[in-house]
Amino acid sequence: MFGGASYGGYSTFMGLIRNPELFSCGIAWVALADLNLYIQGSNWITDDISETARNASLPEMVGDVEKDSEMLAANSPILNASKLKAPLLMAYGEADLRIPLAHGERMRDALIKAGNPPEWVVYYGEGHGWALVKTKLDFYGRMEKLLQKSLLSGYK
C-alpha cells in the first residue's frame, strides 16, 4: 500500500506509476495530480497560490512550463495515468483551495480513460484536509475496505 495527502498523494500516484510491483493499492487524498495546472493556474479554478509564487517560486521549485516541459510531462500524474494499474482510492475536499478539486477530477477522468477507474469520493464543505468527524469516519472506512480487499486478494 502507498498513501498520502497533498504532496504525499502526488507521491502515491507517481509511486504506483513508476514502481507498480511494490504496491498492492494506493490511497491519495487532496493530491496534486496536474503539474501544469499547479504551476500556471487557471482563470476558471480558484486556488490560494499567489501571483508572486506563480511567477517566481513555482517555476524555480517545481519547473517552468516552457523550459521544463519534458520533465513536467514525465512527472505529471495525469499524463502518466495509463501506467497506474493498482486499485486506488481518491478523495478530495470540494472547498480545497490548495489543491482544487479539478486536480482530482482530471486524474479520475484520465484513469477511467485508461481503464482503471478509481474509487472516488468528494467531501463537500471540506478543504485541504478533513475537519468533520463524519468525513473522517467515511474516509477511514473506505481506506479499511480497500486495504482489506487488496491485501486479501494478494494484488500485485
Cβ–Cβ under 8 Å, residues 28 and 89 = yes
**Strand residue runs (E) in 6-76:** 26-29
Beta-carbon count within 10 A of 27 CB: 26
Cell of 111: 484513469
**Distance separating alpha carbons of residues 134 and 61, to the nearest angstrom:** 36
Dihedral sign computed on CA atoms, order 19, 12, 80, 149: positive
* pLDDT score for 88: 98
Domain range enclosing 64: 2-153
CATH of the domain at 25: 3.40.50.1820
* pLDDT score for 151: 82
Number of domains in the chain: 1
**Distance separating alpha carbons of residues 130 and 118, to the nearest angstrom:** 20
* pLDDT score for 65: 94
Q: What is the DSSP string of 30-93?
A: S----HHHHHH-BTTB--S--HHIIIIIHHHHT--TTTTHHHHHHH-GGGGGGG--S-EEEEEE
Tens digit of pLDDT per residue, the chain (156 long)?
889 999 999 999 999 999 999 999 999 999 999 999 999 999 999 999 999 999 999 999 999 999 999 999 999 999 999 999 999 999 999 999 999 999 999 999 999 999 999 999 999 999 999 999 999 999 999 999 999 998 877 655
Q: Which amino acid is at 50?
A: S
